[in-house]
Structure 1
Amino acid sequence: MRLLTNNIVPGNQGRIFGTNATEPTDLSTIKKSILALRGIKDVIVNDRVYPREITVYSTIIVTIDKIESLVKSMGFNALPIEYGHL
């Protein structure tokens, strides 16, 4: 189970992160930076909710720590959102 909780795994589900960035320019910069990481396929920003959500899709296993550290280096937070299992 740690594989799923500590990583972004390849596939169509992606991983959702909440962020405290609110400005469109900041969200765009975060998106571009995440897309530059090896193995990242797509990044979708949902700016209609608070906290803003960033969904990250990958082609390889990418650690959540890598995303958190990258966004933190830009002065913001990116925390994985855990939704309850049905």
Structure 2
Amino acid sequence: MTVITENVIPGNHGRIFTTNASSDAEMEELKSIVEKIDGVKDVVLIKEVYPKEFIVHTTKLIKNNVIEKAVNELKIKAIPKGIFPLLNI
């Protein structure tokens, strides 16, 4: 494992997580709890896919397992997806 795969890197690319949240209400609860983590800038919910996903953007390096543990408090799972390439725009 590397720093890039084990953490959410600060910036505008964020990290995508999949979740087993089944309702929009659970997704909103998930968003609320993740946004309370120190260093989380915002959480974007992706409800149109299955399984549902969310993107976490941060202002500092945050370990994936910090986000996973916060979501687990809701009895919901969060699993980080693989990294995706950054675009040179």
Is the contact between residue 5 and residue 83 of structure 2 (CA under 8 Å) also seen in structure 1? no
Is the contact between residue 15 and residue 57 of structure 2 (CA under 8 Å) also seen in structure 1? yes
Deviation for aligned residue 1:55: 0.2
Root mean square deviation, CA, Å = 1.4
Q: How does 1:1-86 map to 2 (within 5 A)?
A: 2-82=2-82
CA distance in 2, matches of 1:29, 1:73: 11
Q: Percent identity?
A: 34
Unaligned runs of 5+ in 1: none
CA distance in 2, matches of 1:5, 1:58: 15
Aligned length: 85
Give TM-score scaled by structure 1 length: 0.93
CA distance in 2, matches of 1:73, 1:35: 14
CA distance in 1, matches of 2:37, 2:16: 16
CA distance in 1, matches of 2:39, 2:31: 14
